[in-house]
Amino acid sequence: MTKRIIYGPILSRRLGRSLGVDVIKTLETKKNCNFDCVYCQLGHVPLKITRTDNVKGVVSPEEVVEGLRTYHKNIEDLDYITFSGTCEPTLNSGLGEMIKGIKEISPHPVCVITNSSLVDKENIRRNLSEADLVVATLVSGYEETFNAINRPAEEITLENIINGLKKIRRMDKRPILSIEVMMVDSNIDFPVNHTEREIEKLKEVLIEINPDEIEILTVSRPPAEDYIIPVSDDRLKQIATEFENTFGKERVKLVLKGVKKSHSKMKHGNIEEEVYDLIMRRPCTFRQISASLGIDDKELKPIIGRMLSSESIEETTVGEKNYYKIS
């Protein structure tokens, strides 16, 4: 199957009903990124991208606008248009122009989900300034923990990331800045980031950055490494309380498992391609696919069956849930 630029919508724990935009379309790898995070739902990065000019298969602003022009009209109830998918969106230097183009044809707010790797660069911050919301990852205030969890490409440092995030917050024209703190636990000896030492350092760094929002969440889909497990809800609630005491309840969002949004309402084209496009960006359960794309269970079941038979997707079990992912 081809890899389409526009996919979803996805029922996001954070953003509601979110239509995805994927700005690198190379099929040579399932994932185009300069991180190889231990918790990533898309698995390993075979080759980490080190520079924006090393990216292959970049999508143009014109392709994004044209793809969105037809696709989003089929969906009645979007909350966000979100740059994410199988790549780190800031690796595409045309990101700012894409956002401008989207705003000319759509009333929906635009979000960029970024791993924060390039925010120390002025042109990247300029691109991000066109968005309504930027959700930027920060897993630790310690370089060694950051390196263990995010496994960045060479020359990417936590110090540069922190400095870049501080500069975003100080821009005259800027998006809402939300810092995503992905908490991970492990069933082996691994530098996890939910200890009191880690939380104290994170609070120290976040005071410097001064974001508009802080999102606390944990792994909810099959991670790249099987030794990574979710942090318990009880511990997440404790951490959220610590952050609320420092930053105020209005700035802290605890994102727990489960989506409260109802099924999407959308007109379908090629349903099998829509299902494949969704699973390519994130492993999903049967129920998540049905709810995200608004497909009746009876219609979805034979589609999943055909895709499993053709080995375009495969099934994996994590905990008590069965997920479908790209083979």
- Please tell me the distance from the alpha carbon of residue 198 to that of residue 242, in angstroms, as a whole number: 12
Whole-number pLDDT of residue 259: 46
Q: Please identify every stretch of the chain with a pLDDT value under 70, giving residue numbers as ranges.
A: 1-3, 27-29, 72-76, 258-269
Asked if residue 201 lies in contact with residue 191, where contact means CB atoms within 8 angstroms, the answer is no
pTM of the model: 0.85
Whole-number pLDDT of residue 301: 85
152 cis-preceded (ω within 30 degrees of 0): no
Could you give the C-alpha distances from 288 to 13, 262, 291, in angstroms and in order?
Answer: 12, 11, 5
Whole-number pLDDT of residue 283: 83
Whole-number pLDDT of residue 112: 98
Whole-number pLDDT of residue 232: 95
Could you give the C-alpha distances from 160 to 129, 141, 154, 167, 168, in angstroms and in order?
Answer: 18, 12, 13, 11, 12
Contacts of 273 (CB under 8 A, 6+ apart): 1, 2, 4
Residue from 203, 205, 219 nearest 252 by CA:
203
Task: Please report the DSSP string for 65-121 in residue order.
Answer: HHHHHHHGGGBS--SEEEE-SSB-GGGSTTHHHHHHHHHHH--S-EEEEE-STTTTS
Q: Which domains does the chain possess?
A: 6-254 (3.20.20.70), 271-326 (1.10.10.10)
- Please tell me the distance from the alpha carbon of residue 65 to that of residue 97, in angstroms, as a whole number: 10
